[in-house]
Amino acid sequence: MPAPTRAVPGDVIAERGEAARGARVDACGRVRATTCGEVFLEDGGARAGVGARAPVVPRVGDVVFGRVTRVLEKAAHVEIAAVNGRAPRGGDFAGVVRRQDARAHAVDSVELERCFRAGDVVRAKVLSLGDARSFYLTTAGDDLGVVRATHGTSRATMLPIGWTEVQCPVTGEVEDRKVARVDE
């Protein structure tokens, strides 16, 4: 019998073996769940247990994807949607790209409104834990920056035409962005 991926108390999660966290061995030697959650195997399948997946929390150096919610003169605010390719659990996380962290060069002359717009999807790296409300993020790197931009009036997905510009395929209008190199 294949092991289920999720279990509730009383479910058989293994026909034999040792019980790990969230499980017990019944009188017949089967491993049964004692809690709700995802089934996991340890020691090459010799031990089975049940538990909630560990919450995904951004850490320094993690790559995050998020949507820009607001762009101010000194910082762009980002709602984090994924951490290292996994959706965060246990709460919503916010990030801030400060002006000095938007680009790797010419940081004194960066204008954030020429790098991001509200609604853009960005790939960024976590610099530090920041303040109590948000993580400090950086887009200084070739593979970091805007990965998806939408044109304001046509709502079409804009196409990158360089490191600093995107173009609307419908209207032909060109807008400034800090574009990320996306490997296809």
Structure tokens at 76: 């762009």
What does the buried/exposed string (b/e) look like for 56-86 if buried means 16 or more CB atoms within 10 Å of the residue's CB? bebeeebbbbbebeebeeebbbbebebbeee
How far apart, in whole angstroms, are the C-alpha atoms of residue 53 and residue 160? 37
Global pTM reads 0.71
Mean pLDDT of successive 10-residue stretches along the chain, which has 184 residues:
71 89 90 86 80 76 95 95 79 90 82 93 94 91 94 91 93 94 73
Hey, what domains does the chain have and what are their CATH numbers? Answer: 6-51 (2.40.50), 63-176 (2.40.50.140)
Strand intervals (E) in 99-171: 121-128, 135-138, 145-148, 159-160, 165-167
Structure-token match 């399948």, residue found: 45
pLDDT for position 110: 86
Side-chain half-sphere CA neighbours of 26 within 13 A: 13
Q: What is the pLDDT of residue 149?
A: 94
